[in-house]
A and B are shown apart, each in its own frame.
Chain A
């Protein structure tokens, strides 16, 4: 594989950049693989990459119905953080933070990781107490957390509404300075390029139509481009999990819901942090191009539409304007939606299943993008070793029947309620 470097950039400049190698090939499916990953999103690509890199398993195929990077890995708001209270989420995400820091070097691809910090705003004394508790839990797990008072927040984000007579005055906030953003497409492309270079077949425009299961064991999959034999299948299909589960006669603690995001027209640099509104569900950061990148609540009803509805967008942006009034002057550039695999306790599932050789990776709710490297790493371990790693041991499928839920937000089973 051609290394991306300043020298190669200069060298290729002499031939008008027309002789770069393809970043990944377009192979036809082989008859048999050691592992088949279904879903060529961030998690699937990362899983294949770590299977090859950490476990020396290179006879791997990624089966993608559309094109890689066309799903949620290209539709998210690029936020990376590990500001969780519960141990399972905190340790898993913080492990991921370490992978994020090394990712550009590791993949030889600039993912533009920008640890600019995230601030969760608090709008009452009670919320400040809750944030202090979460911050302390984070620090006990080795994650950086700083509790900010109103004046400190004002120094960092003076453009927010600090007037006294607003409905939700800013009391302070909880900041994770090491959190940040990354270029989401680059994450997909970087993992794809490296996985491909190690022998992984990335098969696009290929739909999985069924599974061959005999005597409780996976023997292969059926696709729109022919049957593929394999002993191990990993599902990484986010919002489409229930559709594949149906083909396996499984019913999962997952519902598919629609989440929207939007960007404004590009403006000069004003916001150098990720900020979330604490009295509702709204988050914002500014991209390198200058667009304000915003998101918030789910549309609130089961949906596979991958496009949003206006009432939710209006509701979310009302919160944004309440927090940062200058947003009302901006024109909207783009809005879009993606379908989320909402689990019943708001935490993910990375586990084996009752079918031998079938592995499950789903339930990412709002937080799939930041989990990409840790999810790929632990899922690759789970598939290669046929047992869960201690980092994803808590994300088990049977926790819903044993009662070991990881209910970070305390929302109960209706995680889509806003």
Chain B
């Protein structure tokens, strides 16, 4: 079982969280002209690589906050967790 450190509540079991997918995907900015291809990429196309993956989780059965988790998709090792709006250097 994964153990995820919620930045608000501390270390909790995976059962309390739900997954939200790739966190590196950015919605195209509002009021900006974008091509169909850019929109297509935002909605559908994913890198989904083996190794380090930045992803969204929600602490659904806890504080209900969305968080970012940096996890290895092959070993399931969790390197770090961040608040959803936290800038990652």
Contacts and interface: CB of A to CB of B under 8 A. Distances in A.
Interface of A: 242-243, 246, 251-256, 300-305, 309-311, 344, 400-401, 413-414, 416
Given A311-B15, A413-B44, 9 more contacts: A242-B46, A242-B47, A255-B46, A255-B48, A256-B50, A301-B19, A303-B74, A303-B76, A401-B37
Contacts of B1: 309-311
B68 interface: no
A400 B44 contact: yes
B50 A243 contact: yes
B48 A256 contact: yes
Interface of B: 1-2, 14-15, 18-19, 21-22, 36-37, 40-41, 43-50, 53, 55, 71, 73-76
Given A302-B73, A414-B21, A400 B40 contact: yes
A342 to B, nearest CB: 9
A242 B76 contact: no
Given A309-B2, A414-B21, A344 B14 contact: no
B53 A302 contact: yes
Given A301-B55, A302-B22, A401-B40, A253 B74 contact: no
Nearest to A301: B19
A253 B44 contact: yes
A45 to B, nearest CB: 24
A280 to B, nearest CB: 16
Nearest to A253: B44
Q: Is the interface of A mostly helix, strand, loop or mixed?
A: mixed
A246 B40 contact: no
A200 to B, nearest CB: 28
B14 to A, nearest CB: 6
Given A251-B41, A400-B44, A303 B49 contact: no
Given A251-B41, A303-B73, A401 B50 contact: no
Nearest to B19: A301
B47 A251 contact: yes
A253 B76 contact: no
B74 A305 contact: yes
B64 to A, nearest CB: 17
Given A256-B73, A305-B75, A311-B1, A416 B48 contact: no
Given A311-B14, A401-B36, A253 B48 contact: no
A255 B36 CA distance: 21
Contacts of A305: 73-76
B36 A253 contact: no
Given A309-B14, A311-B14, A253 B46 contact: yes
Given A301-B55, A311-B1, A401-B37, A416 B19 contact: yes
Contacts of A256: 48, 50, 73
A246 B46 CA distance: 11
Contacts of B41: 251
A254 B46 contact: yes
B44 A242 contact: no
Contacts of B45: 251-253, 400
Contacts of A302: 21-22, 48, 53, 55, 73
Nearest to B14: A311
B19 to A, nearest CB: 4
Contact of B49 (A246, A253, A301, A414): A246
Contact of B74 (A252, A300, A304, A413): A304
5 contacts: A252-B46, A303-B74, A304-B73, A304-B74, A401-B36
Contacts of A344: 43-44
Contacts of B53: 302
A301 B76 CA distance: 10
Which 10 interchain pairs have the tightest Cβ spacing? A253-B44, A251-B45, A304-B50, A255-B48, A401-B40, A301-B19, A242-B48, A400-B44, A304-B74, A344-B44
